[in-house]
Structure 1
Amino acid sequence: MEHAAPRIEEYVRLREMAGLSPRTPEQAVGALENSWAWTTIRTADGGLAAMGRTLGDGTWYFHLADIATAPDHQRRGLGRAVMEDLIDRIERAAPPHPYITLLADPPGQRLYRSLGFIDSDPSLGMRLPR
């Protein structure tokens, strides 16, 4: 496990392989450089097996994003390990009761719930399409 961002091409490729919405290398630059924290897991030969990042202000608000595992490494606990590491880093750095959010695509919902995440009812996540 590493606390470093992946390379641009790795980030773009793993997002695509894991079924996340595609991003261009230009979009990836901001994600790689401006995240509060990264957790990556690599294979024995150095390939990117799993990743995740945290966006946030460092004290109260944290958003987990880009939680992705390469298809040939899924169902081995790597996504859970990435999530647990990111959450642990938030809890060690932030004052008590940080606000931790994520957007839960259907494939990840079971994992997120098993880690204690709940629906944000009555609030509803919203986005501005572009």
Structure 2
Amino acid sequence: MTDDGYALVHEPPEVEVYLRLRREAGMNERSAPGAGRGLPNSLFAVQVTYQGETVGMGRVVGDDGCFYQVVDIAVKPAHQGQGLGKRIMGEIRDYILRTAPPNAFVSLMADGEAHRLYAQFGFRPTHSLGMGWYPNLISD
């Protein structure tokens, strides 16, 4: 634990905690079955706790060789502005620098002002909007 009462935990959150934190941080919802399947498959995960409660999180997913994606960076609104996003990203950066082979590609999707945080860790726009697919949300 640090002097400010926050502690880092290097494991994925429980499904209920994950879903709650995403919701409180204003992120898109995920299903409990999806989270239950996905969270254990994280390459790396970090939680920030305060007085026993998870108030921030971040994960890395991918193939553990060529491609890594930073996902689920979230901080509970009451704890934003305390540098927790930087702590989470610092842990993720350290993990990737320690484990990723040469020429691995690390990506993330940023919305709003989050790009300011990620730029501090070397992320740059790709000048492409890219594409995404939510297969269960498509209607004919």
TM-score of the alignment, normalized to the shorter chain, above 0.5: yes
Which deviates more from structure 2 when the two are superposed, residues 70-79 or residues 95-104? Answer: 95-104
- Give the ranges of 4+ consecutive aligned residues of structure 1 lying more than 3 Å apart after TM superposition: none
Take 1:73 and 1:97, find their aligned partners in 2: how far apart are those partners?
Answer: 35
Q: How many residues align?
A: 128
Amino acid at match of 1:128: W
Equivalent residue for 1:27? 34
Take 2:108 and 2:34, find their aligned partners in 1: how far apart are those partners?
Answer: 19
Equivalent residues in 2 for 1:1-130, closer than 5 Å:
1-43=8-50, 45-121=51-127, 123-129=128-134, 130=137
Take 1:103 and 1:114, find their aligned partners in 2: how far apart are those partners?
Answer: 15
Amino acid at match of 1:47: E
Report if aligned partners of 2:93, 2:121 keep a CA contact under 8 Å in 1.
no
| Runs (5+) with no aligned partner, structure 1 | none
Question: Once the 2 structures are TM-superposed, how far is the Cα of residue 98 of structure 1 from its aligned partner?
Answer: 2.2
Residues 48-106 of structure 1: CA distance to partner in whole angstroms, max 9, x if unpaired?
01100001111221000000000011011111111111111011011223211000011
Q: Which has the larger radius of gyration?
A: 2
Report if aligned partners of 1:2, 1:40 keep a CA contact under 8 Å in 2.
yes
* TM-score of the superposed pair, with normalisation by structure 2: 0.86
Secondary structure of 1:12's counterpart equals helix
